[in-house]
Amino acid sequence: MMTIIRAAFITAATSMAALAIVSTAHAAVGVSLNFGAIGYQDGYYDSHHRWHHWRHHNDWQAYRDAHPDHYRDYRHDRDEHPH
């Protein structure tokens, strides 16, 4: 009987650890700023060409550093894109 309880405990602990790893990996993907956009100092156009302001003051810097080929170092209204 003790072997069955021990096996059930090990199975439950292993399953919970695997779930925690998957949840952590999924959360990391949700934070990514790689969304196929063009970023500007004042916001970005998403992959569907919808305009968004940066949520936090330093988000434009993080995007600029991570995706310099998709970042324009000026305000979006300088370009010809309508919002």
Structural domain including 15 reads 1-31
Instruction: Identify any residues that bridge with 51 across adjacent strands, giving them in sequence order.
Output: 45
Confidence of residue 29 (pLDDT cuts 50, 70, 90): very low
Q: Would 83 be classed as within a structural domain? A: no
The predicted structure's pLDDT at residue 30? 38
Question: Both 27 and 48 in a single domain?
Answer: no
pLDDT confidence tier of residue 28, bands split at 50, 70 and 90:
very low
- Give domain status of residue 19, yes or no: yes
Give the burial class of 6: count Cβ atoms within 10 A of its Cβ; 0-12 exposed, 13-18 middle, 19 or more buried. exposed
Q: What percent of the chain has pLDDT over 90?
A: 40
Share of the chain above pLDDT 70, in %: 60
